[in-house]
Chains A and B, each alone.
Chain A
Amino acid sequence: MSLPKPVMRGLLGRRLRFHLPIAFALSIVAAAAFKYTVTEPRKQAYADFYKQYDAVKEFNAMREAGIFESVRPSGE
Chain B
Amino acid sequence: MMLGLTAGRFGTRFLGRRVMALVTPSSATMASHGHGHADVSEIADMSKPMYCDRMDTPLPDRAYKDELNAADKTLKEKEKGPWNQLTKEEKIALYRLMFRKTYPEMKQKTDEWKTVMGGIFIFLGLTGLLVWWQSIYVYPAQPRTFDSEWQAKQIQRMLDMRVNPVEGLASKWDYEKGQWK
Task: Please give, as numbers and ranges, the residues of chain A lying within 8 Å of B157 by CB-CB distance.
Answer: 67
Nearest residue (CB) in A for B161 is A67
Question: Are the CB atoms of A45 and B167 closer together than 8 Å?
Answer: yes
Least distance between B92 CB and chain A CB atoms (Å): 13
Given contacts A61-B175, A67-B157, contact A46 B162 (CB under 8 A): no
What string of 1s and 0s marks CB contacts (under 8 Å) between A40-65 and chain B?
A: 00100110010000000010011001
Task: Please give, as numbers and ranges, the residues of chain B lying within 8 Å of A61 by CB-CB distance.
Answer: 175
Q: Which residues 18-47 in A have Cβ within 8 Å of B in the complex?
A: 42, 45-46
Nearest residue (CB) in A for B157 is A67
Least distance between B166 CB and chain A CB atoms (Å): 5
- The answer for the CA separation of A66 and B156 in the assembled complex, in Å, is 11
Give the number of residues in B that approach A within 8 Å (Cβ atoms).
Answer: 9
Contact residues of B: prevailing secondary structure:
loop
Task: Please give, as numbers and ranges, the residues of chain A lying within 8 Å of B77 by CB-CB distance.
Answer: none
Contact residues of A: prevailing secondary structure:
helix
B160 contacts which of A42, A45, A46, A67 (Cβ < 8 Å)? A67
Does B58 count as interface, using CB distance less than 8 angstroms? no
Question: Are the CB atoms of B160 and A66 closer together than 8 Å?
Answer: yes
- The answer for the CA separation of A49 and B166 in the assembled complex, in Å, is 6
- The answer for the CA separation of A72 and B142 in the assembled complex, in Å, is 33
Interface residues of B (CB under 8 A from A): 157, 160-162, 165-167, 171, 175
17 sampled A-B residue pairs with Cβ under 8 A: A42-B167, A45-B166, A45-B167, A46-B166, A49-B165, A49-B166, A49-B171, A58-B162, A61-B175, A62-B160, A62-B161, A62-B162, A65-B160, A66-B160, A67-B157, A67-B160, A67-B161
With A46-B166, A49-B171, A67-B157 given, name 15 new contacts (CB 8 A): A42-B167, A45-B166, A45-B167, A49-B165, A49-B166, A58-B162, A61-B175, A62-B160, A62-B161, A62-B162, A65-B160, A65-B161, A66-B160, A67-B160, A67-B161
